[in-house]
Copies of this chain bind each other. A is one copy, B any other.
Amino acid sequence: MRYIGVDIGGMSIKAGLTDEKGNILLKKSIVTRATEPGENIVADIAALVKDVAAVGGLAVADIDGVGLGSPGSVDDAAGVIRYSCNINFRKTPVVELLREALGIDNVKISNDANCAALGETLFGAGRGAGNSVTVTLGTGVGTGIVVDGKLLTGNCSAGAEGGHVQLGLGGPLCGCGKRGHFEAYASTTALLRQTEDAMKKHPESALNTVAKERGFDGKTVFIAAKQGDKVAKRVLNRYIYYVGVGLVSFANVFYPEVFIIGGGISKEGDTLIVPLQKFVSENVYGAEYNPPIKVVAATLGNDAGIIGAAALAMK
């Protein structure tokens, strides 16, 4: 079986030919003409898909399915990108347009975070799990939820916005304008703010030395904590607590087999994953009667989007 997964981004559109096991056989990419009318961008995608098939030695008709992941608000069932901030999709019927352009019926679409979650669950860190919650810690907090091997996206695919569940009443301002959401505590943006606050309050902390030596970023707190700095350790422990509380909320509702932690920060590995695993195991409701929930770091990196998009079209 051969599938093509397309990962639409604001800068580039990447497409990969995959087999049914989620292996990428070849990849190509084009620049996103983000300000063109949506129909023209779809035409670019159709050309890219044909190109990938051709390079793979296949006619488009030989492809078993095409899946797409897009940023923004996507109605999976309708096959429509309702809106995207950085790309000029406005109620664009992408699936219908691509079916016509490619002459293939099996074309599917979902939000890019959902695709990444599906890819990681089926073929990456969650391989073998039917139920997972993928939490991507980045500028914001994205979540992708897989139930019995399928994405849960809510009515008109408007859900799975787990960055916007409440964590603390009041609490810090969230990107969405409300206060106290998970994202406002657990994004890397939030971690930077938490680190900066600690640096100001504790000029003696190694956080300041590390930031001066190599520039201030998301790694500052991890490096200073590894050097044994108490303030950095406190910031990190509190951040891990915030992430953990969010995971436990999801656990008590979804009770997944596995949490997959994505985003650049997941590369910190055990420093992040081991205490999160401990927190979830100790705090999930009914832990004594129920199977354990694993916490793991994402493994597919930037390929998760292509692989997950291809997976949309499988079965």
Contact = CB atoms under 8 A, between A and B. Distances in A.
Contact of A285 (B155, B167, B176, B286): B176
A173 interface: no
Contact of A158 (B152, B176, B286): B286
A147 interface: yes
A239 interface: no
A168 B165 contact: no
Contacts of A209: none
Interface string A56-95: 0000000000000000010000000011000000000000
A261 to B, nearest CB: 18
Contacts of A255: 153-161
Interface stretch (A8-16, A213-221, A245-253): A245-253
Contacts of A269: none
Nearest to A147: B152
Contacts of A252: 159, 161-162, 164-165
A254 B251 CA distance: 14
Contacts of A155: 131, 255-257, 290-291, 293
Contacts of A152: 147, 152, 254
A1 interface: no
A166 interface: yes
Interface in A269-315: 283, 285-286, 289-291, 293
A290 to B, nearest CB: 4
A166 B164 contact: no
B165 A82 contact: no
A180 B289 CA distance: 22
A41 interface: no
Interface in A217-265: 245-246, 248-257
Contacts of A251: 159
B285 A154 contact: no
A166 B283 CA distance: 11
Interface of A: 73, 82-83, 131, 143, 145, 147, 152-162, 164-169, 171, 176, 178, 180, 245-246, 248-257, 283, 285-286, 289-291, 293
19 contacts: A73-B286, A131-B154, A153-B255, A154-B253, A155-B257, A155-B293, A156-B291, A157-B255, A158-B286, A158-B289, A158-B290, A159-B253, A161-B255, A161-B285, A161-B286, A167-B169, A169-B171, A178-B283, A253-B253
Q: Which 7 residue pairs are nearest across A and B when measured between Cβ atoms?
A: A154-B255, A159-B255, A158-B290, A158-B255, A165-B249, A168-B169, A164-B252
